[in-house]
Structure 1
């Protein structure tokens, strides 16, 4: 049952209120469901406080009804409303200046007639949330600062353990820094499940800190909706909130509504559409054919490697006349990139190259890719498309916890973030303490990382009991496979965050070549930037849509290092038909595994051939080994254990020496730590066929 179908916690219908002959409210309707934070925004004198006082029983409505859990409570006394689970923190704080902090707090639960022990429990809970109040528990309330008095007013309201907390202008008259503290506390209350009706003149603060909002003007509701949509709609701001700016704050029809806090200079997400303008599949195919023809000609004329490959296959640019001709083109793979080091597949002059990136993890020659400025612009645009599909807006704060430098990940996430106008928090990978500190201090709303990093963070947030202090709404992760149970655990421990699996590879620009949609049952990939084929990894023949196979990609507009039928070795399947989310772009399943022996361990690609090389350089070790990959359920960390044979005739007494040297070389050359065990020669199984050397138990349930 959706929130709309449930009985609202509070429902106000056609409410009117008068002060003598003057009417303050004109037929106001409002609903709040359990667990929501709802903002009521309007100028001074709009009727906001009157509405709260009618709900609390401090003002008797002249018409309309108020229902709590479906039961009528119109005209109830304040004490009755407290017993029903409401609490009110009034405008101007209204603390009792000649009473101590603790005496003010106890008044908040007076209507409940608590026993002494229960009252102390409520006090302890308030003091835990408001440490400053505990320090000043015996101090007279009138001697507190404005911010401390606001905390006292909120603490007094929380003494009643309210089901619905009414907050009237909590930031009124407070310095910006103190306002930050107050709204951080409001956010924590919301995360912990408290239902809040927030009245605020500061529109930016109120809308940024709420789920839904109502705009009140001259005693009437003039607009309502999701808070983020109201903030992101410039037409709505102009129509109902005015057009305040740094130079002309008075232009807002809401006067001191605080609209200068909205980042008006940033682009509107809904006016920035990064989706292609294709109406149907035929238009996409026509675009792909034109892109394929351009790519083949560009590669043939600009790359000696591709010219040789195409000539050998008997293909000329003029012979590409339909998409079916794609199958006539030769395959390329990672070996071609390494063989062409340091500038493989280069198809433009060096003076047009503005950047290089490299893949992670192999010894010897890395896979290096070149970029022209147009390549970077395209990458930035379709990465912004990923954020758009995930529902990220310019109001989000995106904490980027992936690698920077020569690797593509960090740059891709940041460029796309800045393209849509969101705030980037470029932390980079690792450093859990700093990651958590920034989540709390910066109130990041989107967290970007590998799947294992997201799980590690989720476990640590849960262990430290910080879920109600963070504001992460979405997690965008990639680079590793993830199971259904792993995703569910990450979401739950992050307080219900929505997960989006993002795909990509360095050879094809970097991350951001596709992302799952809001229906969370597929990956939409950018068919206007590359063609995706699924082939049988043994026969290299195409497989029907819906069948699992190896992903092969061909770029359509990549200049510096175009790809023609590049074997990614990732196993997936094309999902036929249209998506229920309504987006027309083609789809594939989440990555199921790989068709080669590549190991992805803590964000690093490791090739068994690299381990062969390292072990062969340690005198005394044999050639047979096994790799066991596992994941610790408690710490969410991946572990690699290697079992290696000693060489024939090598004494067992040398095992400690051999382990030390092998572990050191693996750490030095592959940048990963392993646990290594040395066993006697001939211990590990031999086979006439290819011996199984990699045992990966990290993912044990389904990926979809």
Structure 2
């Protein structure tokens, strides 16, 4: 049997004399939630709070606390039961000091003096301005300070459920920002909140779920994120409001009207494809495949030569199954034809390049036309949409900018969906924590390792209640279930989304974990995905693990034809429980080659070999050991290298320093180096095992 709701309102009615104010209201609040109650003046919101607190007697219905009926209980009993109310208009006692007002919040509990003082100090710590004015009469405080005092007075009761009635009423926008920052912090610290607000945008962005009231009735309810972008809600609550006459809204200028004027198109636009079934997607893919083969054949000497060698012409592609007749493309092709591999348009149409890491001096450079960039931005916005990011989110980006694709993709997709981008980049931890607190970022984009590092630092500094991150979008490296669970827990239950992509295929954003968290949805309207056996190069059945191969459908500057990504995954057949029709695959399990992903950098063992071979005094045998510290989540790389034959052991310190210096200089990562005697590492007639990766020991999917 499931646990009862912390608060449950059942069929509640209330009257003012003969006038009925509430009509069969049903509402629930669970522990740890922030629930918004939104509606215009006269909707019945304050009446409902009065009935809950025992300040007004209900005509009918029940109020349940932890499943026990408390209907009709006195306000003092409700406070002792764990409820506290910050009333509309604040209602502080103007002639009493700040401290005296706060003491009144604990009167019903009959707590000892020492406990009252301890609680007051906790309030002062949260509301620094009140601490500065503790002996000042409450009537001399500003409106925002009085609201803080009213909230502090309620917190003196250490409530399990805090009822906030119109906390932004009559406050200037900047002060409203400050008040809602405090509300976010309270929620992060575990306080359960029932928030009554006219400012619908504020209330919905600060809550988990919401109930919309009109005429004393609940007229709509659901997850706050969904209601915030629901056009039916907007139509119902905005009424006849227009850009020219916002005052015509039933909510006046309270919240939703502001969104409508500031970001008019964002809340009704979807970046999802319009396909209604798999057949429509297959038809789209066939047209895209035919276009890509013709475009590459006519625009790229490389592709023309490969296609002719495979006896394939553009006219040969008549069915999707014909894709298996096309030749494979590999990363070696990109490096061989450096610096502009696969180029299929004139140079004057290329507006940008990006590059991924590769062997020294041979990075994989990819060109983009303007259409390529527009497509990339569009489906990156789709990633944010699938993750539930809205224009009211503040997205803090902690990935690299510049020649790498990551930072630009995350930022432009964020701006496309209308959210606020906070492009900190891979800056230091102090900078990120400062922005998280000052800007109140709600979404964090990074590698999994960076997310774990930030989460642990937040806990170490004891600032979890000042952090508003509720979603983490991460990519660029594998992560296990245990690592994801730890990140989520340390971030206070933040929801994690694994995002996929590679520079050759536009960049990050080519797919993302769905809201049901059991798969990656990939954008089948932009590329075809095959899974092959990396040895036989033959397709494997759905559900079996193999190497991911991609073919783009509309990429102009550098189209991909059966590009071997080397990533290991599997196709997941059948419809997804999240309702999306887009095809899906499992999270990336590993690589079919020996490429290392270390701290967000692709490293080829051949690159290590090149670096080591240029250092006099080292032998030819080496090993790469990758480990992960269970407590910190940090990855470590140790290189075990043989000294050259006849090299004196007294040179060990010098050689270790040079190895670390050269690796840091050329690969931008720090490693540990260990020198062993010549002949100490195993030899084999077959290919020697160079890489020993023990970072992930439990399942990833």
Could you say which TM-score interval applies, normalised by the shorter chain? over 0.9
Match of 1:15 in 2: 13
- Partner of 1:476: helix, strand, or coil? strand
- Partner of 1:102: helix, strand, or coil? helix
Match of 2:401 in 1: 404
Counterparts of 2:510 and 2:205, CA distance in 1: 30
State whether residues 418 and 424 of structure 1, in contact with CA within 8 Å, keep that contact through their aligned partners in structure 2.
Answer: yes
Match of 2:636 in 1: 639
Decide whether aligned partners of structure 1 residues 324 and 202 sit closer, same or farther in structure 2, where only a CA change above 3 A counts: closer
State whether residues 502 and 511 of structure 1, in contact with CA within 8 Å, keep that contact through their aligned partners in structure 2.
Answer: yes
Offset, 1:490: 0.9
Q: Does 1:32 align with 2:32?
A: no
Counterparts of 2:247 and 2:542, CA distance in 1: 59
What are the within-5 Å matches in structure 2 for residues 641-656 of structure 1?
A: 641-656=638-653
Offset, 1:587: 1.7
Match of 1:369 in 2: 366
State whether residues 17 and 63 of structure 1, in contact with CA within 8 Å, keep that contact through their aligned partners in structure 2.
Answer: no
Match of 2:380 in 1: 383
Offset, 1:325: 2.5
1:50 paired residue among 35, 42, 47: 47
**Segment of structure 1 superposing worse, 220-229 or 48-57:** 220-229
Counterparts of 1:278 and 1:226, CA distance in 2: 26
Match of 1:603 in 2: 600
1:151 paired residue among 123, 148, 153: 148
1:416 paired residue among 386, 400, 413: 413
2:691 paired residue among 682, 689, 694: 694
Q: Does 1:71 align with 2:65?
A: no
State whether residues 459 and 636 of structure 1, in contact with CA within 8 Å, keep that contact through their aligned partners in structure 2.
Answer: no
What are the within-5 Å matches in structure 2 for residues 109-148 of structure 1?
A: 109-148=106-145
What are the within-5 Å matches in structure 2 for residues 456-535 of structure 1?
A: 456-535=453-532
2:345 paired residue among 329, 345, 348: 348
State whether residues 501 and 508 of structure 2, in contact with CA within 8 Å, keep that contact through their aligned partners in structure 1.
Answer: yes
Offset, 1:356: 0.8
Decide whether aligned partners of structure 1 residues 211 and 521 sit closer, same or farther in structure 2, where only a CA change above 3 A counts: closer
2:189 paired residue among 189, 192, 195: 192
2:578 paired residue among 573, 578, 581: 581
**Segment of structure 1 superposing worse, 374-383 or 90-99:** 90-99
State whether residues 516 and 522 of structure 1, in contact with CA within 8 Å, keep that contact through their aligned partners in structure 2.
Answer: yes
Q: Does 1:103 align with 2:109?
A: no
Counterparts of 1:665 and 1:70, CA distance in 2: 66
Match of 1:549 in 2: 546
Match of 1:593 in 2: 590
State whether residues 232 and 268 of structure 1, in contact with CA within 8 Å, keep that contact through their aligned partners in structure 2.
Answer: no
Offset, 1:269: 5.6
Match of 1:447 in 2: 444
**Segment of structure 1 superposing worse, 259-268 or 298-307:** 259-268
- Partner of 2:31: helix, strand, or coil? coil
Match of 2:56 in 1: 59
**Segment of structure 1 superposing worse, 667-676 or 573-582:** 573-582
Mind listing any 5+ residue stretches in structure 2 that lack a counterpart?
A: none
- Partner of 2:574: helix, strand, or coil? coil
Backbone CA RMSD of aligned residues: 2.2
Decide whether aligned partners of structure 1 residues 93 and 346 sit closer, same or farther in structure 2, where only a CA change above 3 A counts: same
What are the within-5 Å matches in structure 2 for residues 209-248 of structure 1?
A: 209-242=206-239, 244=241, 247-248=244-245
State TM-score, norm by structure 2: 0.95
State whether residues 443 and 471 of structure 1, in contact with CA within 8 Å, keep that contact through their aligned partners in structure 2.
Answer: yes
State whether residues 170 and 182 of structure 1, in contact with CA within 8 Å, keep that contact through their aligned partners in structure 2.
Answer: yes
- Partner of 1:574: helix, strand, or coil? coil
State whether residues 5 and 66 of structure 2, in contact with CA within 8 Å, keep that contact through their aligned partners in structure 1.
Answer: yes
Decide whether aligned partners of structure 1 residues 99 and 476 sit closer, same or farther in structure 2, where only a CA change above 3 A counts: same
Q: Size of the alignment, in residue pairs?
A: 701
- Partner of 2:541: helix, strand, or coil? coil
Decide whether aligned partners of structure 1 residues 331 and 21 sit closer, same or farther in structure 2, where only a CA change above 3 A counts: closer
Q: Does 1:314 align with 2:311?
A: yes
Offset, 1:506: 0.6
**Segment of structure 1 superposing worse, 43-52 or 286-295:** 43-52
Offset, 1:703: 0.6
- Partner of 2:688: helix, strand, or coil? coil
Counterparts of 1:45 and 1:537, CA distance in 2: 67
Decide whether aligned partners of structure 1 residues 375 and 255 sit closer, same or farther in structure 2, where only a CA change above 3 A counts: closer
1:82 paired residue among 68, 79, 82: 79
**Segment of structure 1 superposing worse, 299-308 or 177-186:** 177-186
Mind listing any 5+ residue stretches in structure 1 that lack a counterpart?
A: none
- Partner of 2:382: helix, strand, or coil? helix
State whether residues 362 and 670 of structure 1, in contact with CA within 8 Å, keep that contact through their aligned partners in structure 2.
Answer: no
